Amino acid sequence: MKRRILIESLLFSGLVIVGYFIWKTLRGYYTTKTYVPDILEKYENVDGLQHEVSFGVANSYEAWPVVFAVFIGLSSAYCILRIGIRILRRKRVESD
């Protein structure tokens, strides 16, 4: 029975993470498709665009450790919740 709860918790957390990435992808697609730039106000003075160069990193951290930590956290929470529910059900059956 514990093996089943472990497999369920891993599947649940995996589905939540995959669902999150699908949601972010769809949200980004929708935002990109519906974006209408305000060209008249943004580019009144293009002098700065011709003489300035910006340097930097768009995303300076690796996201996979965070995804792994969320996966472990969700799996643990689901497993604890399922075991707690099972214990409560046993106590109810014993008390009835």
pLDDT in tens, the chain (96 residues): 678 888 888 899 999 999 999 999 999 999 999 987 777 666 666 666 666 666 666 665 677 888 889 999 999 999 899 999 989 999 888 886
Domain residue spans of the chain: 2-51+63-95
10 Å Cβ neighbour count for 13? Answer: 20
Residue 40 has a pLDDT of 65
The confidence score (pLDDT) of residue 18 equals: 93
Cβ(5)–Cβ(87) under 8 Å? no
| Overall pTM > 0.75 | no
